[in-house]
Amino acid sequence: MAIILDHVSYVYEKGTTMEIAALKDINLVIPDGQFIGLIGHTGSGKSTLVQHLNGLMNPTSGHIYYNGEDIGDAGFNKKKLRSDVGLVFQYPEHQLFEIDVFTDVCFGPKNMGLTEKEVQLRAYEALKQVGLEDEYFYQSPFDLSGGQKRRVAIAGVLAMKPEVLILDEPTAGLDPKGRDEILDQIAKLREETGITVVLVSHSMEDVAKYVDRIIVMNQGSIMYDDEPRNVFGHYKELEEVGLAAPQVTYIMQAFREKGYLVNTDVITIEEARDEILRVLNR
């Protein structure tokens, strides 16, 4: 069920004086089961790209294939596509509108034409998958904390049982505890179900900790597409386009400059700890 982008470009306000090329000749394959981090500075094309993946936006040129079918073809079922490729926007308030949490999460599967029993079972399962306690099920979603709203918004997409889950800055504005809780739940879900996850994030620490692969966007093009440690090895180039590496990368570089023979390609706190102890205990 891979998603394939074949020479995809997108131009805002095409043919006007406000014309802006947001995506430029993007070639990309998103295979089943991968956890992908999508990073880039503001305006790099990240959000435009992910909205193409489930047909919310159509390319100005090029083709997008899902399960071997061109999603731009006449007669292609985009309603089903948006069930299979679920997108959670950055601000969950934009996706919450029902009288209580449980009813809100039921909305997606109900519109798939499922029986009431199946709808409710899916909603209950999805709320459990995101770790929301039963006591919140019949509260207004607008009375919840920011982190709880994120969980409900994600549950609403999971209840449709997507094969691909796209999360656009799901931890924006959350404290470190809330951020870790959300991403730990996503990582656990992916491990248990094999779902494909695309995580759009400004946090280098988050993508370093969780993802298998990082795609770096810059000015509408793909700058890097590789394993996290290989991407962050280009930290100086990333800095030139307004990005950075995880803080531990800079710490290990500083150790190296002080004469400690540490490996500098570590990208998580746990790896840094183990590497520093290895060198100090030699």
Return the CATH number at 26: 3.40.50.300
Q: What's the rounded Cα separation, in Å, for the pair 103 and 38?
A: 31
Please state, in angstroms and rounded to a whole number, the distance separating the CA atoms of residues 276 and 255.
Answer: 9
**Residue 211 · residue 36 · CB < 8 Å:** yes
How far, CA to CA in Å, does 71 sit from each of 3, 29, 51, 77, 129? Answer: 10, 15, 13, 8, 29
Q: Is residue 215 situated within a structural domain?
A: yes
Domain presence at residue 176? yes
Residue 16 has a pLDDT of 85
In a domain, 208, yes or no: yes
- Domain assignment of residue 262, yes or no: no
Residue 46 lies in a domain: yes
Is 182 contained in some domain?
yes
Residue 247 is assigned to a structural domain of this protein? no
Which phi and psi (to 5°) does residue 65 adopt?
Answer: -115, 135
How far apart, in whole angstroms, are the C-alpha atoms of residue 200 and residue 271? 23
Counting as low any pLDDT under 50, the low residues of the chain are: none
Instruction: Print the domain residue range for 174.
Output: 3-228
Q: How many domains does the chain have?
A: 1
Report if residue 83 sits inside a domain: yes
Query: Which residue, 55, 39, 92, 78, is CA-closest to 225?
Result: 39
> pTM of this prediction?
0.90
Identify any residues that bridge with 88 across adjacent strands, giving them in sequence order: 167
